[in-house]
């Protein structure tokens, strides 16, 4: 099952993303995170739509999707996939390979494992992501090449244990902390990302990194 969190997505971009994902041969779960107007999706046996009445954040949308999947005994693997058109569905096969081989419980896409992919990232975003990688290592004891990317795959062992409480973008660090806590086997694979004016506008600004750090420290203090 592929979880696609959606918030105020350009309809044409979302339609292209879903059309491309249908070729992956998996059920698609769209979680509309309080979009205005609400997203319109052609629901079918292969496409499920869940809605939040208000915007809660990407972490909350992914948790809603994972909670739905936990109740479905036929779902063995989940893929998190952003809706803004920056990911390639063809990379999903590389994410799934370590799961099928029994080498990992969760597989993260990385924009930093190949030089060509790394150079596509805008310089300021590249710097912030690298600082985020260092921060994540300090907080979670996990050393990864990429700090925050919306493309990952989880087996049932992983998504049954991971329960996100961080509603917004700090969820990515919380997820790593839970990977460490539950001793989940993790792996990274190289993936390509397309940065368009639209995806840059939809993505997190560099200044939001400070908000994410603040959210994580509050979680550490009050957990």
Short-list 44, 50, 51, 40, CA closest to 15: 40
Q: What is the pLDDT of residue 204?
A: 57
Q: Evaluate whether 101 touches 175 at the Cβ level (below 8 Å).
A: no
Mean pLDDT of 165-191: 95
The model's pTM is 0.88
Asked whether the predicted pLDDT for residue 51 surpasses 60, the reply is: yes
Q: What is the pLDDT of residue 199?
A: 77
Q: What is the pLDDT of residue 205?
A: 53
Tokens in use for 174? 């919380």
Share of the chain above pLDDT 70, in %: 90
**Bridge partners, residue 51, by sequence:** 32
Distance between CA 152 and CA 117 in Å, rounded?
16
Q: Evaluate whether 95 touches 155 at the Cβ level (below 8 Å).
A: no
Asked whether the predicted pLDDT for residue 39 surpasses 60, the reply is: yes
> Which CATH number do you get for residue 93?
3.90.550.10
pLDDT tens, 67-108?
999 999 999 999 999 999 999 999 999 999 999 999 999 999
Q: Evaluate whether 7 touches 64 at the Cβ level (below 8 Å).
A: no
Distance between CA 72 and CA 32 in Å, rounded?
20
Sign of CA dihedral 138, 141, 146, 151: negative
More confident position, 59 or 23: 59
pLDDT tens, 128-163?
899 988 988 898 989 999 978 999 999 999 999 999
Q: How many folded domains does the chain comprise? A: 1
More confident position, 202 or 183: 183
As a whole number, the mean pLDDT across the chain is 90
DSSP string computed for 16-39: HHHHHHHTT-S-EEEEEES-SSPP
pLDDT tens, 201-222?
776 555 454 454 445 444 543 4
Q: Which domain holds residue 139?
A: 2-222
Q: Evaluate whether 151 touches 81 at the Cβ level (below 8 Å).
A: yes
Q: What is the pLDDT of residue 210?
A: 46
């Amino acid at each position: 099952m592929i979880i696609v969190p959606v918030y105020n997505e350009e309809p044409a971009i979302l339609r292209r993303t879903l059309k491309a994902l249908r070729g992956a041969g998996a059920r698609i779960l769209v979680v509309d995170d309080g979009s205005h107007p609400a997203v319109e999706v052609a629901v079918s046996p292969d496409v499920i739509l869940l809605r939040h009445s208000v915007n809660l954040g990407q972490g909350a949308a992914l948790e809603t999707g994972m909670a739905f999947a936990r109740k479905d005994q036929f779902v063995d693997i989940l893929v998190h996939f952003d809706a803004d058109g920056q990911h390639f569905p063809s990379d999903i096969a590389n994410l799934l390979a370590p799961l099928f081989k029994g080498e990992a419980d969760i597989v993260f896409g990385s924009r930093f494992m190949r030089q060509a992919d790394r150079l596509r990232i805008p310089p300021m975003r590249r710097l912030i992501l690298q600082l985020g990688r260092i921060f994540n290592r300090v907080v979670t004891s996990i050393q990864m090449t990429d700090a925050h990317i919306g493309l990952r795959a989880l087996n049932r062992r992983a998504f049954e244990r991971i329960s996100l409480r961080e509603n917004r973008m700090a969820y990515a660090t919380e997820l790593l902390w839970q990977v460490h806590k539950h001793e989940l086997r993790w792996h990274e694979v190289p993936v390509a990302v397309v940065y368009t004016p639209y995806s840059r506008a939809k993505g997190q600004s560099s200044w939001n990194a400070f908000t994410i750090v603040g959210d994580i420290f509050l979680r550490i203090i009050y957990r």
